[in-house]
Amino acid sequence: MPLRGNAVTYNVGYIVGSLSQKSINRTLALALSRLAPPELHLAEIPIDRLPLYSHDHDPSFPAVAQELKDAIKASDALLFVTPEYNRSIPGALKNAIDWATRPKGSSVLDGKPAAVIGASPGPISTAVAQHHLKSILTFTNSPVLGQPEAYIQFTPGLIDDRGDIQVPSTAEFLAGYMRAFAAHIRRHHHDIPEL
C-alpha cells in the first residue's frame, strides 16, 4: 500500500468470473473502478489463460498460475465480480481460486480482504453465486465484506460504453458500496481502529 502525499492508497486486484470480453460483469467492474474512492486503484487480474487445476502441477507450478499468485500477493485487497452460472460461480473462477491456494500451505488468499459483487439480467441477480463464493472465501481465510450486499440487475442502458452508470440511484448505491469496501480494507490493514 503506497503513500500518495500523506494519504495511504491501496492496490485492489479485481477478478471477473466470466471469461467473455463482452461480459456484463466486466462492464460492471469498469463502472466500479470509476466509482471507487481515490485511495483505491483497481486493476484486473486475468484468469482466462489458466489450465484446469490438478495437484499433479504442484511440483512444477505453471508460469501462468504463478503470475496469478504474484498479482494477488501484490494486491492489498481483491474484488470479485462474478456472474451466476447454474446457481453457482463459473468454473473458471473456482479454478482460479484453486490455483491461488496451491500448493498446500502457500495460499495467497489467506488474510486478503475481499468483496463480492455481480450482475445478471435476472431479478435475483447473482445472489446464490455470491453466497457460494463467500463460503469459499471464508474457507480460504479471506475476510469478506459482509454489508452492503450488492446484487445488480443489469438492464439495457444501465452502464454506457465509458463505464458510467446511467441510473443515479444505482450509481449512488455502488459508490457507497465502494466506500464500504475501502473502509473494510483499511480495517484489515489496521489503518483505522475497529469500531
Is it the case that residue 145 has pLDDT exceeding 50?
A: yes
Q: Could you report the per-residue pLDDT of 58-117, keeping only the tens digit for each?
A: 999 999 999 999 999 999 999 999 999 999 999 999 999 999 999 999 999 999 999 999
- Residue ranges of domains in the chain, CATH in brackets: 10-189 (3.40.50.360)
Span 160-195, pLDDT tens digits: 988 899 999 999 999 999 999 999 999 999 865 444
- Report the alpha-carbon angle 101-54-47, nearest 5: 60
What average pLDDT score do residues 133-153 get? 96
Cα gap 104→101, rounded to integer Å: 7
Give residue 4's pLDDT: 53
Strands (E), 94-138: 114-120
Share above pLDDT 90 across residues of the chain, in percent, rounded to a whole number? 88
Grid cell listed for 108: 495467497
Residue 195: what pLDDT?
A: 46
Residue 3 has a pLDDT of: 54
Residue 130 φ/ψ region, left for φ over 0, alpha for ψ in the -120 to 50 degree band, beta for the rest: alpha
> CA of 71: how far to CAs of 50, 65, 91, in Å?
14, 10, 20
